[in-house]
A and B are shown apart, each in its own frame.
Chain A
Amino acid sequence: MENSNGILVYSSSPHKKAPHTTKWIMLNVLAALIPTSIMGIVFFGLNAFLLIIISLASSVAAEFIYYLIAGKPFREIAKDFDYSSCVTGLLVALTLGTNYPLYAPVFGSAFAVIVVKLLFGGTGKNFVNPAIVGRIFIFISFQSVVGSWLAPSIASVTGGTLSTGATTLVNILEYNTLPSLSVWDLLLGTGLSGCIGETCKLAILLGAIYLAILKIIDIRYPLIMVGTCGLLAVALKGFDFAYFLPSILTGGLILGAFFMATDYATTPNTKVGNYVYFALLGLLCAGLRQATNMETVSFAILLMNLFVPLIDKFILNRPFGHFKKKKERESK
């Protein structure tokens, strides 16, 4: 007897699999970034929209061109395309200010996708977060425009003065002044200058909750990072807890913690390893910020990414029924 196709598929067990694929995960991360992108466009206008589109297009183009040069047929590239380049491109754009030239993300995204990801073997083989490197690449290459952030089109909802020129974070770090904006302004991003995707924290958190519900990210890890970062910032200001919320709600900490530090390829593989990684990352963020008086979340993530193999080497899961400690005690 033959079945309708005449052929049986033979493979190893298990024969049932969860519906989630890499593509599904990447598409959901993109979906989670939609509110942030929309708020960025609302705040910063047409320029923000163009930066996002150009960045997305150039990252996808970079992947296709790379594989075409490598001799892979176009149809197969399209079939194997897993949208991770889109995530990289979108994240690069979201970390830019609107005063960057429109060609800036072309370089950043292409560098991130080709050098950091594809040259090391494609999705999952990157040893640092591509989007972070893309951002840093642009940050260093276009230094003349860095530091002069443009203000959003919507002013403070609670009547604080518009803070332009320097981000509120720098004020906190360098001059020990609490921002004139209320916590609500900081959360919504109204009246706050900064990058396209880093101002509206509420939109970012919305996306993060979406990912947590789908179990794509474990929400505890970024919360640990934000918590340790805030606590160290408070400690460095002589335990003045008034600084807690302003420190964590300014700059790129929230976007970095929930969408960049949680990149699968560059996080440890065990629960304990992740706790250690994210706690150290938070401390490093706050420490570097205070030491340099500027926004350093991306540098902190880049630095900690390099320690992931080390964490994975020393922190391993103990197998079920493993009684190493007891045995050692007995032998003593």
Chain B
Amino acid sequence: MSLRKGKRYAYGIHVPDMKDLSKNYPIEEMPAPKTVYIALSQHIGAPATPIVNVGDHVKKGQLIGEANGVVSANIFSSVSGTVKEISEFVNGLGQKLKYVVIENDGKNEEVLLPKLPDLEPKTIIERIRLAGIVGLGGAGFPTAVKLTPKNPLDALIINGAECEPYLTCDQRLMVERTEDIYKGIKYTAAALNLSRIIIGIEANKPDAIEAFTKYEDLEVVILKKQYPMGSEKHLIYSTTGRKVPVGKMPFDVGVCVQNIKTMIAVYEAVELNKPLNHAIMTVSGNGISHPKNLKVALGTPFTDVIAFCGGERENVVKIVAGGPMMGRALVNLNQFVRKTDSGIILLTGKETNTQKPTNCINCSKCAQNCPMRLMPMYIEFYYLSGDYENAEKYGAMNCIECGSCAFNCPARRPLVQNIQNAKMKIKEARSNGKQ
């Protein structure tokens, strides 16, 4: 066992974590709903190709969408039943995606993946690819691609920071399924041929830290409670002292970062031969009657999840998919659980902020809080004046969209939104330049 304290990085902010709402509720398995709507694009990269037809009978765990290329992921059914529809519609996040709609027959017939012949690195990586595992921290980058790095690595870092306020599902997992996570970590380390394993956990989760100290071969790092500690680059700095250079990836400094939930998925795929067909999420916020940590079948409508948690209390003004700092607000409730969903947060008028933006007063709090040490006010200023070159010069492309700037902005300026737009414009300009 090795226990040490993580480094504090300069800047960053302190956000009230609000985890008390749900952190004491064990993870419950929500019964599968009558109908599931499984999106064929739940990851970064090309959408999967549907391989079932309307009217087909599918079993739980059956492949319904096949990965389309290397950077893509398989999609599995989360219930047994009949395919009712394969259609494209606009979801609650405003994305137009293809969905496979399956009616649950309630029989719960399950198929498993074939048993693994051996535990060679190649076999494990192939299994992770087959099981459709993607980075479950939120981005949804196919894990198998991450496990075949271009540079030699010397450490595997497990992200147990969970710095987003409200979310507690990682914390619950670390306490309840420590052994499973440990096994998942060992399989991942075997796939990467690594012996140095670091797990970073924020100091506000003493129970999770306690749970992992019993393993001899893990380096447990107690991270300072600081937002955004779960950001890949900051986690690497806090645990190893290495700084990922601007525009480079974690493998450039010899590390691979994986999320807690991804490790559970790896364990289930390798040892239990189960594909990834559920999401583990927190339903919280002052707008929900009973905050809960849930294991939900993929494609479950958000309305069903909210109803399972006792429904809304009064004055819900905003529903967020993901954490409140980086998650996306829903336009309407026509949204269905994806692999990468880590929470549904129902915010009341008091919790969220709907004031309209006023003049920037140049207080430079955004620059003083930016964990990437950018200057958000300049990026915003140049974006709004249409000068995208200067927006790029002030670091728009390095932004990790953590929201530290907009969180503390006294003028309530939508800094993150403007920087996201600036990024889009810069990318457009780049692709136009190439042609």
Residues of A within 8 A of B (CB): 1-5, 8-18, 20-22, 24-25, 80, 82, 121-125, 264-271, 316-323
Top 10 A-B pairs ranked by shortest CB distance?
Answer: A14-B403, A12-B417, A124-B361, A269-B364, A17-B353, A264-B363, A3-B316, A15-B324, A317-B373, A321-B243
| Contact A123-B371, Cβ < 8 Å, known A10-B331, A14-B416 | no
In the complex, the answer to whether A15 meets B414 with C-beta atoms within 8 Å is no
Contact of A319 with B398 in the complex, beta carbons under 8 Å? yes
Number of residues in B with C-beta < 8 Å to the partner?
Answer: 74
Residue of chain B at shortest CB distance from A20: B410
30 contacts between A and B (CB under 8 A): A2-B333, A3-B316, A4-B312, A8-B329, A9-B352, A12-B329, A12-B414, A13-B329, A13-B403, A14-B325, A15-B327, A15-B345, A15-B347, A16-B324, A16-B325, A16-B351, A17-B407, A17-B408, A22-B361, A25-B410, A124-B411, A125-B359, A269-B362, A269-B377, A270-B367, A319-B372, A319-B395, A320-B234, A320-B373, A321-B248
Complex formed: what's the CA distance from A12 to B233 in Å?
23
Chain A nearest CB from B409 CB (Å) reads 8
Report the minimum CB–CB distance from B15 to chain A (whole Å): 7
Chain B residue contacts of A125, Cβ below 8 A: 359
For residue B367, which residues in chain A have a CB less than 8 angstroms away from its CB? Answer: 269-270, 317
A319 cross-chain contacts in B, Cβ below 8 A: 246, 372-374, 395, 398
Of the candidates A10, A82, A316, A317, which one forms a contact with B329 in the assembled complex, judged by CB atoms under 8 Å apart? A10
Checking A8, A15, A265 against B332 with a beta-carbon cut-off of 8 angstroms, the contacting residue is: A8
A121 — which chain B residues lie within 8 A by C-beta? 359
Cα(A322)–Cα(B361), bound, Å: 28
Chain B stretch 31-72: residues in CB contact (< 8 A) with chain A: none
Q: Which of B's residues lie within 8 Å of A, judged by CB? A: 9, 15-16, 165, 233-234, 237, 243-246, 248, 287, 303, 306-307, 312, 314-320, 324-333, 345, 347, 351-355, 358-364, 367-368, 370-375, 377-378, 394-395, 398, 401, 403, 406-412, 414, 416-417, 420
* In contact, A320 and B371 (Cβ under 8 angstroms): yes
In the assembled complex, the Cα of A14 lies from the Cα of B352 at a distance in Å of: 9
Complex Cα distance, B374 from A89, in Å, reads: 35
Closest chain A residue to B420 by CB distance?
A12
Q: How far is the CB of A78 from chain B (nearest CB, A)?
A: 14
Q: With contacts A8-B319, A122-B359, A321-B245 known, is A13 near B327, CB below 8 A?
A: yes
Decide if A4 touches B315 in the complex (CB within 8 Å): yes
What's the least CB distance linking B375 to chain A, in Å? 6
A13 to chain B, nearest CB (A): 5
Picked from B358, B408, B409, B414, the residue with its CB within 8 Å of the CB of A82 is B358
A117 to chain B, nearest CB (A): 10
**Minimum CB–CB distance for A233 against chain B, Å:** 29
* Minimal Cβ-Cβ distance residue in B for A273: B364
Are B245 and A323 interface neighbours, CB within 8 A? yes
Residues of A within 8 A of B351 (CB): 16
Cα distance, A323 to B248, chains bound together (Å): 12
Residue of A nearest to B94 (CB): A10
Among B237, B326, B375, chain A packs the most CB atoms within 10 A around the CB of B375
List chain A residues, Cβ under 8 A from B401. 13
Q: Report whether A9 and B412 are in contact in the complex, using a CB–CB cutoff of 8 Å.
A: no
Query: Considering residues B243, B332, B353, B395, which has the most beta carbons from chain A within 10 angstroms of its beta carbon?
Result: B353
Within the complex, which residue of A8, A25, A124 is in contact with B317, where a contact is CB–CB below 8 Å? A8
A25 to B412 CA separation, bound complex (whole angstroms): 13
B361:A265 contact, CB within 8 angstroms: yes
Known A10-B331, A264-B363, A320-B373: A17·B317 in contact at CB below 8 Å: no
Interchain CB contact under 8 A, A265 and B375 = no
* B243 surroundings in chain A (CB, below 8 A): 320-321, 323
